[in-house]
Amino acid sequence: MVSASSLLLPSSMRDLASCIGDGAVRVACASPASTLTSSSGGGSGNSGSASTLSVTVSYRATLLNSGAPSPPLLLRLTWAHSQVGPTLSFSPSAAAPSVLLRRRRGTRSVSLAGSGGGGDAETEAESPLLTLFWDLTAARYDPGASPEPLYGYYLVAVTGAEVVLAVGDQAAEFVKTKFEGQISKARCLTVARRERVVVADPAAMHTARVRFAEDGPEHEVSVGCTTSSGAGGGEELWVSVDGKRAVQARRLRWNFRGNQTVFVDGAPVDVMWDLYGWWFRDPPGCAVVMLRARSALESRLWLEEEGAAPGFSLVVQAFKAPP
């Protein structure tokens, strides 16, 4: 099993989810709209977009060739900005530290031991190896935006003659050429995505493209904050899905923590926010917004074990200045 903390959720969000009762959930309709919200704000009235510091994506891979049942692998990729340009790091397990892939193209073997290098050396030596193949030499990025490439790259992870991770538009062609079709593929799902952003403009918003279900369509999720012109004034937090406003929270200095449930593709998606660090910490902390898909049978916003709550999660952490 993989604990909730391994999904990269700040402890405040886990505490928030655990203390919100089922009766606090409000349901709103967020059916996909035909028009998308642009990064310039469009109908939301925002003047700019947030600057993305890093993007961490977690994948759960279930091995198909293992002789005995084995727990799924939780693999992580982190794309980040640095002084020398975009960087890529890989983590082979929930407990292991990230490995920085310094070269633009290469091959590297890492241990799948869950100790992360701090455990028994003999156990580490006997643990299975995972081999990485990557090529970022032709990767293309959105200038001034996310450090995650748009296209022109691949990263492939193989263990036990099985592909457990294949990321990038060139990954399928690499696997076909490298292994000549003589290798099986594990069942791999994207289970979490965390985007850390700096919001220099208070009216800026952040947009991410995600899939809440394995075979579901891609959706554009936008998160923003604006000043209310209505009665009472104050700041407002809003979340839109495919250009349609799904969540709107007012008077944030009082409602700095909360939740709502929206429906995307007919399935519930819990939206939780925690702005305490943004408003009340000195120096300022971060604002956290999480969207988490769940099945209609789940009655709680948060389940401690990922195996019991396998829905996809999007976490946006917004900072007023780079941490």
DSSP per-residue string spanning 96-130: SPPEE--SSEEEEEEE--TTTTSS-HHHHHHSPEE
Confidence of residue 145 (pLDDT cuts 50, 70, 90): confident
**Amino acid, single-letter form, for residue 250:** R
The whole-number pLDDT of residue 310 equals 59
Query: What confidence tens digit (pLDDT) does each residue in 191-234 have?
Result: 999 999 998 776 778 999 999 998 899 999 999 987 766 555 57
pLDDT > 70? residue 240: yes
More confident: 122 or 63: 63
What would the mean pLDDT of 154-176 be, rounded to a whole number? Answer: 95
pLDDT > 50? residue 161: yes
What whole-number percentage of the chain has pLDDT above 70? 72
Separation in Å, CA 237 to CA 222, 247, 261: 11, 8, 15
pLDDT of residue 61 exceeding 50, the answer is: yes
**Residue bearing the bigger pLDDT, 118 or 4:** 118
Residue at 159: amino acid letter = T
Residue 40 has pLDDT above 60, yes or no: no
- Bigger pLDDT: 278 or 231? 278
Task: Please state whether 180 falls in left (phi above 0), alpha (psi between -120 and 50) or beta.
Answer: left
pLDDT at 1: 35
pLDDT higher for 134 or 279? 134
Q: Which residues pair with 29 in a beta bridge?
A: 263
Q: What is the pLDDT of residue 100?
A: 95
Sequence-ordered list of residues with C-beta below 8 angstroms from that of 282, at least 6 positions apart, any chain: none
Q: 120 pLDDT exceeds 90?
A: no
